[in-house]
């Protein structure tokens, strides 16, 4: 976070031209310009927050207090305007607004209009399967019936039956969500199955009654979660074809229900992200091109949606260049498209931001620009959250060892080797190929001693081949290719 970060400044900077115009129009008054509007215009112009500039609008000894009150008023004003401006942004927002308006009308004894609004809300809630909102709508409809003594129109059995169905479907969603959270908690540490115990845990999840058949999912949200869980479990267990099938079925399901995408585009973006991941593992270029182009065909308007699309497209375009050894294009893409789009880059999920830097480091590494590789990798290592998946961090640490060796940072290497091996052991990632490769930097002869250097690498190559390097942690690196490159020099 920036040193001069300010919540209100960040909020003002995020506003679109249309949103700013709405705020200005709704705040117009005759006579002298209000102080909060001066602050608004000042914050709008500031690229970085400068409190001293804002304090200059006030006089007296309690400038900070005056500024605090003005900022609080302005913040509430902006939020109120955003609520009005985006009242129909999403079906969920529209439905909630109608219920709020109906409640206000109820207290004003405007029962007929309240009924009309609740009917509109009910149609939205039924279409989008907002089961809790349907319960709230039913509650206010019942209160209106009681208040207007229209008991002849009241069917308690039907209302009770509808309520029971809504609650049953919502509870079904919650159980699927709980399953999803349990699995997500397990893979948040590592997306590699690290031992037999973890493998058994994932196999047992597949036997859960709700995961046996999709007919157990009683709503669209439950169906979505069913597909996600099944595709993830099969991927973890390396049953890639089954995982692919569920991923494709999920995208088909979303496209058959476009209102779900409209309400939450991130569901689609994430689903396409997952099928793109599969295409990389399977080296299926046709599948990759089909779904990367599908994602590009969508247009999203809200920053959160745009940031998710930006990070997915950036990660996979960058990764695709690296996969095809187009390292110049990868570096150009990173330097001239990703890094320059500062607005979206700061909005992407932190894990995706770090992965962008990690992939950029790989591109520089393969170009043998080791200084830039280290700079990009440090953006990952120095700032990465402790909650970041351990397999990602482990790969970065191994790459870090190689880069420091290439830069001849001999003073740093022993510590990096020791800490990397310790990290692998602590997180159940210690495997023979990785340990053999990382450990060799402790004893590798000087490259000037050509024969000893060559003999050493030939021996290590034999050891790595015997250790089955397909199971290495740093899947983006080929230890044997690196050794072969050194042997050719």
Same domain, 96 and 145: yes
Same domain, 100 and 78: no
Range of the domain at 115: 91-154
With respect to residue 12, please indicate whether it lies within any of the assigned structural domains: yes
With respect to residue 272, please indicate whether it lies within any of the assigned structural domains: no
Looking up tokens 């393969």, which residue turns up? 366
With respect to residue 228, please indicate whether it lies within any of the assigned structural domains: no
Which residue intervals of 3-110 are DSSP H helices? 7-14, 17-26, 35-45, 51-55, 63-85, 91-107
Contacts of 343 (CB under 8 A, 6+ apart): none
What radius of gyration do the chain's Cα atoms show? 29
Number of domains the chain contains: 4
Same domain, 398 and 484: yes
With respect to residue 192, please indicate whether it lies within any of the assigned structural domains: no
Same domain, 62 and 29: yes
With respect to residue 251, please indicate whether it lies within any of the assigned structural domains: no
Predicted pLDDT at 488 = 86
Predicted pLDDT at 287 = 94
Predicted pLDDT at 155 = 67
User: pTM higher than 0.85 for the full model?
Assistant: no
Same domain, 400 and 485: yes
Same domain, 399 and 466: yes
> Of 336, 379, 372, whose CA–CA distance to 356 is shortest?
379
Same domain, 412 and 488: yes
Which residue among 380, 402, 421 closes a domain? 380
What is the distance between the alpha carbons of residues 179 and 175, in angstroms, rounded to a whole number?
A: 6
Predicted pLDDT at 10 = 93
Same domain, 403 and 369: no
Which residue among 351, 380, 409 closes a domain? 380
What is the distance between the alpha carbons of residues 386 and 155, in angstroms, rounded to a whole number?
A: 56
With respect to residue 193, please indicate whether it lies within any of the assigned structural domains: no
Q: Helix axis angle, 111-128 relative to 91-107, nearest 10°?
A: 160
What distance lies between CA 308 and its chain's CA centroid? 6
With respect to residue 481, please indicate whether it lies within any of the assigned structural domains: yes
Which residue among 37, 57, 85 closes a domain? 85
With respect to residue 191, please indicate whether it lies within any of the assigned structural domains: no
Residues of the chain with pLDDT under 50: 1, 30-31
Same domain, 365 and 443: no
Same domain, 418 and 456: yes
Predicted pLDDT at 427 = 86
- Alpha-carbon torsion, ordered 366, 367, 368, 371, to 10 deg: -100
Same domain, 68 and 144: no
Backbone region of residue 408 per phi and psi (left: phi > 0; alpha: psi in -120 to 50; beta: other values): left
Same domain, 444 and 358: no
């Amino acid at each position: 976070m920036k040193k001069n970060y300010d919540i209100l400044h960040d909020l003002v900077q995020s506003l679109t031209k249309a949103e700013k115009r709405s705020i200005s129009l709704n705040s117009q008054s005759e006579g002298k310009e209000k102080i909060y509007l001066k602050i608004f215009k000042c914050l709008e112009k500031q690229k970085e927050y400068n409190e001293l500039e804002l304090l200059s609008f006030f006089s007296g000894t309690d400038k900070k207090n005056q500024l605090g009150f003005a900022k609080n008023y302005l913040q509430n004003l902006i939020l109120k305007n955003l609520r009005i401006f985006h009242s129909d942004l999403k079906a969920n927002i529209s439905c909630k607004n109608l219920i709020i308006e109906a409640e206000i009308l109820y207290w004003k004894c405007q029962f007929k209009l309240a009924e009309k609004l609740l009917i509109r809300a009910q149609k939205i809630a039924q279409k989008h399967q907002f089961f809790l909102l349907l319960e709230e709508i039913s509650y206010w409809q019942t209160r209106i019936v009681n208040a207007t003594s229209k008991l002849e129109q009241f069917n308690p059995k039907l209302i009770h039956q509808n309520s029971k169905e809504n609650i049953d479907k919502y509870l079904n969603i919650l159980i699927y969500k709980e399953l999803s959270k349990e699995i997500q908690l397990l893979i948040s540490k590592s997306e590699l199955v690290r031992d037999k115990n973890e493998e058994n845990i994932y196999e047992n999840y597949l036997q859960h009654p709700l995961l046996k058949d999709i007919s157990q999912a009683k709503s669209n949200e439950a169906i979505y979660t069913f597909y996600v869980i099944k595709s993830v479990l099969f991927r973890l267990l390396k049953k890639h074809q089954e995982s692919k099938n569920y991923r494709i079925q999920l995208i088909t399901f979303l496209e058959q229900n476009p209102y779900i995408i409209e309400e939450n585009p991130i569901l689609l973006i994430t689903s396409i992200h997952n099928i793109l991941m599969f295409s990389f593992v399977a080296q299926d270029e046709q599948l990759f091109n089909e779904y990367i182009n599908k994602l590009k065909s969508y247009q999203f308007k809200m920053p959160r949606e745009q940031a998710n699309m930006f990070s997915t497209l950036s990660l996979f375009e960058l990764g695709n260049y690296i996969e095809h050894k187009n390292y110049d294009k990868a570096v150009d893409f990173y330097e001239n498209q990703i890094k320059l789009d500062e607005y979206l880059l700061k909005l992407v999920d932190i894990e995706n931001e770090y992965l962008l830097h990690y992939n950029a480091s790989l591109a520089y590494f393969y170009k043998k620009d080791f200084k830039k590789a280290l700079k990009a990798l440090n953006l990952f290592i120095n700032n990465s959250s402790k909650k970041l998946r351990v397999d990602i961090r482990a790969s970065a640490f191994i790459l870090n060892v190689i880069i420091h060796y290439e830069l001849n940072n001999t003073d740093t290497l022993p510590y990096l080797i020791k800490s990397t091996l310790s990290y692998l052991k602590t997180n159940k990632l210690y495997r023979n190929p990785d340990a053999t490769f990382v450990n060799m930097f402790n004893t590798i002869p000087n490259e000037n001693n050509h024969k000893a250097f060559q003999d050493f690498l030939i021996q290590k190559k034999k050891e790595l081949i015997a250790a089955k390097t397909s199971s290495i942690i740093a899947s983006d690196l080929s230890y044997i290719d690196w050794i072969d490159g050194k042997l050719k020099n």
